[in-house]
């Protein structure tokens, strides 16, 4: 077990202890503060990553990336506003693949490219739907608001059951075939049990916050800083944050402006998800390129 994993385990249970001492309203506020700080920050340096990954000249690539991000934001908002069900489905799929890739790509599974994509997506879906399953009422409140209609809880049960069966079969086969990596799969099963405890005890927002920050964003920041600077240390981390800060600030200002322009509480979830999706869609592609470049 590496130091980062050990830190995440300890910090997760500290997070559970903290929220046991505060009321649910403050827990939600605290969760959003972490999501909009560390969570958004880990996707704010995509431009620096693209410039590192690309051989094109700085100015040409910079303005191209800015234009692409603005276009992505516009498309995400329109998609969630006009076709919210498609927008929500794509957001969940992109997030699931991104979570799975971040967790498993450093382990270097011996799988063909297409099988990796299927596995990463299914693993990420299991994480998300484990959270949804244990907080079904809160999830349905959000989806009903976004879709303006009730979907019921069966879709959560079906996806959770499918991904659970898939992972049981996958882990069982790999424990038999890749006996040398059995410690890795045992650790992954242990982590899933920890996620189950966290999601069961926490609210929807705080459970997602613990996973998103401690188990995804921080490891992702570690990967990005190591790739950009060649090593992870305090000086490189400080330089990374300094370069990411302007884009992070623009993102937060953009969210506030969107909310003030629409000024409609009934659209709050559409605004929130379109904002997060606008970051997630291109970020997923950039991190996928990063992992490919590292190989």
Closest CA to 201 of 24, 35, 70, 58: 24
Closest CA to 31 of 174, 224, 202, 177: 202
pLDDT at 130: 95
| Residue of 278 and 211 predicted with greater confidence | 211
Q: What is the mean pLDDT of the chain?
A: 82
Q: What is the pLDDT of residues 209-232, one digit of tens each?
A: 999 999 998 888 888 888 888 888
Q: Is 84 inside any structural domain?
A: yes
CB of 56 closer than 8 Å to CB of 262 = no
The whole-angstrom separation of Cα 57 and Cα 51 is 8
Q: Is 175 inside any structural domain?
A: yes
Q: Is 36 inside any structural domain?
A: yes
- Helices (DSSP H) in the chain: which residue ranges? 3-19, 24-34, 40-41, 46-53, 58-82, 84-104, 113-134, 136-147, 154-177, 182-201, 204-210, 218-229, 234-262, 268-294
Q: Is pLDDT of 124 > 90?
A: yes
End-to-end CA separation in angstroms for the chain: 23
pTM: 0.87
Q: Is 85 inside any structural domain?
A: yes
Query: Does the CA dihedral 21-26-29-33 come out positive or negative?
Result: negative
Q: Is pLDDT of 142 > 90?
A: no
Report how many domains make up the chain. Answer: 1
Q: What is the distance of C-alpha 50 from the center of its chain?
A: 19
Q: Is 181 inside any structural domain?
A: yes
Q: What is the pLDDT of residues 37-89, one digit of tens each?
A: 888 888 777 777 777 776 655 556 667 767 776 777 777 777 777 887 888 88
The whole-angstrom separation of Cα 45 and Cα 258 is 22
Give the mean model confidence (pLDDT) for residues 113-139. 91
Give backbone dihedrals phi and psi of 2, rounded to 5 degrees, phi first: -75, 170
pLDDT at 58: 52
Please give the DSSP secondary-structure letter assigned to residue 105. G
Domain that holds residue 142: 28-294
Q: Is 19 inside any structural domain?
A: no
Question: Cβ–Cβ contacts within 10 Å for residue 182, how many?
Answer: 12
Q: Is 18 inside any structural domain?
A: no
Q: Is 273 inside any structural domain?
A: yes
Q: What is the pLDDT of residues 8-31, one digit of tens each?
A: 888 888 888 887 787 777 888 888
Question: Cβ–Cβ contacts within 10 Å for residue 57, how many?
Answer: 9
Give CA angle at 276 (45, 17), nearest 5°. Answer: 90
């Amino acid at each position: 077990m590496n130091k980062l994993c050990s830190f995440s385990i300890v910090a997760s249970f500290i997070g559970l202890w903290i929220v046991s001492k505060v009321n649910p309203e403050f827990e939600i506020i605290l969760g959003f503060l972490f999501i909009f700080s560390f969570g958004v920050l880990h996707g704010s340096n995509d431009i620096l990553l693209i410039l590192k990954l690309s051989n094109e000249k700085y100015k040409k690539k910079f303005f191209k990336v800015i234009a692409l991000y603005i276009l992505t934001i516009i498309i995400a908002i329109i998609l969630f506003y006009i076709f919210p069900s498609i927008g929500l489905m794509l957001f969940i799929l992109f997030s699931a693949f991104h979570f799975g890739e971040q967790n498993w790509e450093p382990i270097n599974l011996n799988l063909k490219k297409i099988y990796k994509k299927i596995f990463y997506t299914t693993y990420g879906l299991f994480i998300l739907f484990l959270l949804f399953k244990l907080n079904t009422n809160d999830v349905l409140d959000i989806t009903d608001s976004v879709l303006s209609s009730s979907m019921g809880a069966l879709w959560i049960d079906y996806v959770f059951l499918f991904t659970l069966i898939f992972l049981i079969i996958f882990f069982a086969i790999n424990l038999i075939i890749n006996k040398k990596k059995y410690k890795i799969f045992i650790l992954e099963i242990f982590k899933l049990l920890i996620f189950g405890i966290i999601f069961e005890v926490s609210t929807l927002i705080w459970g997602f916050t613990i996973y998103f920050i401690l188990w995804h964003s921080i490891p992702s920041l570690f990967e990005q800083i190591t790739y950009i600077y060649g090593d992870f240390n305090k000086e490189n981390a400080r330089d990374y944050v300094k370069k990411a800060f302007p884009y992070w600030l623009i993102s937060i200002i953009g969210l506030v402006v969107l909310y003030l322009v629409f000024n409609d509480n009934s659209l709050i979830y559409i605004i929130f998800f379109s904002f997060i999706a606008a970051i997630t869609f291109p970020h997923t592609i950039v991190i996928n390129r990063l992992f490919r470049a590292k190989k």
